[in-house]
Amino acid sequence: MKTLSTLLVAFGLILTSCGGVKNVSEPQFRDISDVRVKEVGLLKTTAAANIIYYNPNKFGIKLSSARGDVYIDDIYLGSFQLDQQVSVSKRSEFTLPVTLKIDNIATLRDQRGLWKKKEAMVRVEGYAFVNKAGFSKEIPIRYEQMQSVDRLRALVSR
């Protein structure tokens, strides 16, 4: 009985501490930098980039891994993966070093008209694994925004 009451008290403390995390804000996308091609292949091209975000929250976390897919105008471009664990401080900018594997055949076949447009919808869907105080959680990554095609072209040609 004593063990049961101890577990209930511990469980209650965990629930109340989790209840205080209701006002969690999503990280804010800032920029993409240092885009570089690592390997060019017939079917796939591997590129690397640094994605800069701002953490507006009053707490920091560790981002242990992230993965997902990238689409431009609802056409699959490729998949991304976080290269290393990243510590995110409270209320500060942080950089995510990612690797992007681009599907060359789909990109060439479906993106011919992309460069004629002024803007294109960039969509990212995936999952990230975050750690805080010994607890891990998988959270969804969702990003969708119109981007200037000239900006995309400038990133690729750097």
Euclidean distance between CA atoms 100 and 123, whole angstroms? 14
Residues 86-116 pLDDT 10s = 999 999 999 989 999 988 877 777 666 776 7
What mean pLDDT, rounded, does the chain reach?
A: 78
For residue 134, the model assigns a pLDDT of: 82
> Which residues, other chains included, contact 59 with Cβ-Cβ below 8 Å and sequence gap of 6+?
90, 132
Q: What does the pLDDT average to over 114-138? A: 84
Q: What does the pLDDT average to over 57-74? A: 89
Q: What is the DSSP letter of 158?
A: -
What fold is seen in the domain 26-157? Immunoglobulin-like (2.60.40)
Beta strands 135-148; 92-103: pairing state: unpaired
Whether the model clears a pTM of 0.75, i.e. scores above it, the answer is no
Beta strands 119-132; 92-103: pairing state: unpaired
**126, 66 contact by CB (below 8 A):** yes
Q: How many CB atoms lie within 10 A of CB 135?
A: 9
Q: What are the residue boundaries of the structural domains of the chain, listed by start?
A: 26-157
Euclidean distance between CA atoms 151 and 114, whole angstroms? 13
Euclidean distance between CA atoms 48 and 114, whole angstroms? 22
